[in-house]
């Protein structure tokens, strides 16, 4: 069948057959053009439908970055772009209708021993691809971009190569230029850190034009790119769903569901399609023609089921090996099965894309071809107490990857043999400096929640009455306003006899080391706190005190509180001459969030201290003018040395068996980064 333009006489399309093979041609029952004449809907006698687009859709793939030193996602970017190319070809895009721009110029994406890249990813090449004849003559234009994203204030840029980046507003200008001069419909899908800024900056199209912008994360969050072979990421999930014939809207939802069930990095994909929801994206599909996607935007697993059963919810002790297993349906023959695992609290946290989530490869059983399994040795992947999220995926020929199914492993240390009463005094002061004051306001709710998650009785009941919470900010659970007299007076209400006490102080120091401002004119000083601790610990045997201070000059508390006659751990956010780092909402990054976030997941106090210390020594060294070095003293000499850590390693935040929820997981945070 041939289709001509009735006005110009141009041959638009030659169709030699319908369905899966040409011999179905005679089964044609009806054909109908769309209202705008851009599509032909063909009905076959067998009851199936096929749609042909007469102005071919075109696509631009952008694999940015390159093999520069320190690029942790070079391999992922290259492989995801190749997967995008294969997906487009499988969905009916001809090679001539794909502009493949890459910082990896020699990539053979389809395995035919010929490089498929059309040119390097540069500013000039991208602009030409988006504003020149290639885009202007397309019926629809799909743009797929993957690599690093950078953000400074309201400025966000996507990295094209080691030397060039394109800003979100620059990209918006190019798309406006294209759609002002052409009626082409545009869909932009970007997977990079802070990609949500593109939704904010690029979503508005010229009047009468359609534009959909899909981002892998928000404008303030980083993105996840796990290494091959599974390549877990928003883009991979999106493409896998689109490959199966799902609409853009459903493919976006598939990516969103992945991060809802498997919250690797607090990633929340975004979409804007010119409708209140996803109505327009639900009507757009991947490819020049399709036979089964046109009527359905269902979850891919409803017509591509893979798993029959899998490890769902398992609880083990730290000393136990963990058995992971999955049974696939009888009609499925995957090439491999992989389990990606999100640990409860990474020790070293950064703002870079997450690339190190552990993976376990399951092995097909020799006696049962549908069963895949693996045994993970004790104290390896599951070495920390807490909740581990599992994501099972199956890989098939042509790099097809199933939607994930999810499970959970809880590593529970069992009832704490030490049933000594636990109590806490939490005090959050304020500051004169507006920026610091705003950051301080967010510290209390997080710190209180972390303590409450750990302050449980053996029956699992949380006990807010075990926490004396004083804050300069009106947080509802607080016991009262922050003051030095309230903190020191709280010692009088502690239980008689043995007790384990946690004192956590957060605030400004007004440029004097060894003190924490509670409010205007009210400073809690280290000598006064030491006197209260000495009296309390001397009054009864079996009393242990853990004091942690997050304030400028907090290192001065180590020698000031030292007393080798008592079991006392003093932890500070820095040295006596160090400043303090506190970021306001939504990131709330500080020593407090890193230390308590790790402790809430069941790590020992020493491991929690090291998690925060490594964070400041590692990633933050690139962003701090003056380094901040957290300190600990648990042998009573008032110094931080290699001799410290033994007592802190035996202590936990509250009860050892209780671990906190996802909100206290200490996951990677976001910090502004320059584009230089």
542 vs 500: CA distance, rounded Å: 8
Does 301 reside within a domain? no
Asked if 546 and 610 sit in the same domain, the reply is yes
Asked if 132 and 241 sit in the same domain, the reply is yes
Mean pLDDT, residues 295-316 taken together: 64
Distant-in-sequence, close-in-space partners of 62: CB < 8 Å, separation ≥ 6: 81, 101, 102, 121, 126, 143, 144, 145, 146, 147, 158, 160
Yes or no: say if 633 and 642 are a contact pair by the CB < 8 Å rule: no
Alpha-carbon torsion angle 398, 402, 404, 405, nearest 10: -140
Does 294 reside within a domain? no
In the numeric block, the tokens 């400043």 are attached to 579
Asked if 245 and 135 sit in the same domain, the reply is yes
Show the tokens assigned to 85.
């190319």
Does 676 reside within a domain? no
98 vs 558: CA distance, rounded Å: 63
The overall average pLDDT reported for the chain is: 83
Asked if 80 and 223 sit in the same domain, the reply is yes
Asked if 464 and 561 sit in the same domain, the reply is yes
Domain that holds residue 634: 422-664
Asked if 553 and 646 sit in the same domain, the reply is yes
CATH number at residue 518: 3.40.50.1460
Does 299 reside within a domain? no
Report the greatest alpha carbon distance in the chain: 101
Asked if 427 and 399 sit in the same domain, the reply is no
Asked if 507 and 631 sit in the same domain, the reply is yes
173 vs 41: CA distance, rounded Å: 35
CA distances from 43 to 30, 33, 46, 291, 347 (A): 5, 12, 8, 10, 58
Q: How many CB atoms lie within 10 A of CB 592?
A: 27
CA distances from 300 to 160, 255, 524, 582 (A): 32, 11, 59, 43
Specify the range with the lowest mean pLDDT, choosing from 218-232, 240-254, 345-359. 345-359
Q: When comparing pLDDT for 167 and 16, which is higher?
A: 167
Q: How remote is the C-alpha of 477 from its chain's centroid?
A: 29
Q: How many CB atoms lie within 10 A of CB 652?
A: 27
Does 291 reside within a domain? no
- DSSP E strands in 378-483: the ranges are 386-395, 405-411, 422-428, 467-471, 480-481
Yes or no: say if 628 and 619 are a contact pair by the CB < 8 Å rule: no
183 vs 635: CA distance, rounded Å: 73
CA distances from 439 to 432, 588, 614, 657 (A): 12, 7, 22, 31
For residue 586, what pLDDT is reported? 62
* Dihedral over Cα of 228, 615, 346, 675: its sign: negative
Does 435 reside within a domain? yes
Specify the range with the lowest mean pLDDT, choosing from 3-7, 211-215, 222-226. 3-7
Does 417 reside within a domain? no
pLDDT at residue 460 above 80?
Answer: no
At 18-76, the pLDDT tens digits run: 444 444 344 555 566 666 556 666 655 554 555 666 667 899 999 999 888 878 889 99
CA distances from 150 to 20, 76, 124, 589 (A): 45, 18, 20, 18
Regarding beta strands 359-364 and 405-411, do their DSSP bridges make them parallel or antiparallel, or are they unpaired? unpaired
Does 302 reside within a domain? no
pLDDT at residue 668 above 80?
Answer: no
In the numeric block, the tokens 């942790």 are attached to 72
For residue 29, what pLDDT is reported? 55
The structural domain count of the chain equals 4
Asked if 118 and 43 sit in the same domain, the reply is no
CATH number at residue 348: 2.60.40.10
Yes or no: say if 508 and 522 are a contact pair by the CB < 8 Å rule: no
For residue 230, what pLDDT is reported? 66
Asked if 231 and 336 sit in the same domain, the reply is no
Mean pLDDT, residues 7-24 taken together: 46
- Residue 402 — very low, low, confident or very high, per pLDDT cuts 50/70/90? confident
Asked if 500 and 578 sit in the same domain, the reply is yes
Distant-in-sequence, close-in-space partners of 50: CB < 8 Å, separation ≥ 6: 18, 19, 41, 42, 44, 289, 290, 291
580 vs 429: CA distance, rounded Å: 14
Q: Give the predicted TM-score (pTM) of the model.
A: 0.55
CA nearest to 374, candidates 364, 386, 387, 389 = 364
- Residues paired with 341 in a beta bridge: 390
Q: When comparing pLDDT for 246 and 223, which is higher?
A: 223
Range 2-29 burial, b when 16+ CB lie within 10 A, else e:
ebeeeeeeeeebebeebbeeeebeeebe
């Amino acid at each position: 069948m041939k289709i001509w333009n009735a006005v110009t006489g141009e041959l638009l399309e030659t169709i030699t057959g319908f369905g899966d093979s040409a011999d179905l041609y005679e089964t044609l029952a009806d054909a109908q053009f769309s209202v705008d004449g851009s599509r032909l809907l063909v009905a076959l006698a067998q009851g199936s439908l096929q749609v042909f687009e007469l102005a071919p859709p075109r696509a631009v793939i952008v694999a940015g970055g390159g093999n520069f030193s320190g690029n942790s996602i070079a391999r992922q970017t290259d492989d995801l772009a190749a997967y995008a190319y294969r997906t487009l070809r499988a969905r009916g895009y001809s090679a001539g209708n794909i502009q493949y721009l890459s910082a990896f110029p020699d990539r053979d994406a389809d395995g035919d021993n010929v490089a498929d890249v059309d040119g390097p990813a540069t500013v000039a090449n991208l602009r030409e691809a988006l504003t020149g004849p290639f885009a202007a003559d397309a019926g629809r234009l799909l743009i797929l971009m993957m690599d690093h994203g950078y953000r400074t204030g309201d400025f966000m840029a996507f990295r094209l190569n080691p030397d060039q980046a394109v800003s979100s507003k620059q990209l918006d200008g190019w798309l406006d230029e294209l759609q002002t001069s052409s009626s082409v419909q545009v869909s932009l899908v970007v997977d990079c850190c802070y990609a949500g800024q593109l939704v904010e900056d690029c979503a508005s199209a010229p009047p009468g034009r359609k534009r959909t912008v899909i981002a892998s994360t928000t404008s303030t969050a980083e993105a996840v790119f796990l290494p091959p072979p599974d390549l877990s990421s928003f883009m991979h999930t999106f493409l896998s769903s689109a490959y199966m014939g799902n609409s853009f809207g459903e493919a976006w939802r598939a990516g969103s569901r992945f991060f809802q069930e498997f919250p690797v990095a607090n990633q929340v994909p975004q979409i804007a399609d010119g409708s209140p929801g996803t109505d327009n994206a639900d009507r757009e599909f991947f490819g020049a023609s399709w036979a089964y996607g046109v009527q359905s935007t269902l979850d891919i697993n409803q017509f591509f089921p893979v798993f029959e059963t899998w490890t769902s919810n398992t609880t083990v002790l730290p000393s136990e090996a963990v058995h992971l297993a999955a049974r696939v349906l009888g009609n499925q023959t995957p090439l491999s099965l992989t389990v990606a695992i999100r640990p409860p609290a990474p020790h070293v946290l950064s703002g870079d894309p997450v690339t190190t989530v552990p993976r376990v490869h399951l092995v097909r059983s020799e006696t049962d071809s549908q069963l895949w399994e693996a045994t993970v040795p004790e104290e390896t992947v599951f070495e920390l107490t807490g909740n581990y999220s599992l994501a099972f995926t199956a890989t098939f020929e042509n790099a097809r990857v199933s939607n994930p199914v999810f499970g959970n492993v809880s590593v529970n240390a069992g009832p704490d043999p030490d049933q000594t009463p636990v109590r806490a005094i939490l005090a959050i002061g304020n500051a004169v400096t507006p920026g610091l004051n705003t950051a301080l306001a967010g510290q209390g709710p997080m710190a209180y929640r972390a303590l409450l998650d750990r302050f449980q009785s053996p029956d699992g009941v949380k006990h807010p009455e075990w926490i004396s919470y004083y804050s300069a900010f009106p947080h509802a659970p607080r016991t009262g306003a922050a003051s030095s007299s309230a903190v020191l007076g709280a010692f009088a209400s502690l239980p008689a006899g043995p007790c384990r006490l946690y004192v956590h102080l957060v605030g400004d120091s007004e440029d004097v080391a060894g003190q924490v401002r509670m409010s205007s004119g009210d400073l809690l000083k280290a000598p006064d706190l030491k006197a209260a601790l000495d009296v309390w610990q001397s009054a009864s045997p079996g009393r242990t005190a853990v004091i942690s201070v997050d304030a400028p000059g907090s290192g001065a508390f180590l020698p000031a509180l030292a007393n080798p006659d008592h079991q006392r751990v003093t932890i500070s956010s820095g040295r006596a001459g160090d400043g303090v780092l506190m970021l306001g909402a939504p990131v709330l990054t500080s020593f407090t969030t890193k230390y308590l976030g790790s402790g809430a997941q069941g790590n020992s106090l020493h491991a929690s201290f090291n998690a925060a210390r490594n964070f400041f020594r590692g990633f933050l060294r690139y962003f701090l003018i003056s380094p901040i070095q957290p300190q600990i003293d648990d042998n009573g000499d008032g110094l931080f040395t290699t001799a410290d850590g033994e007592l802190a390693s035996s202590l936990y935040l509250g009860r050892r068996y209780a671990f906190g929820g996802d909100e206290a997981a200490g996951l990677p945070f976001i910090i502004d980064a320059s584009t230089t």
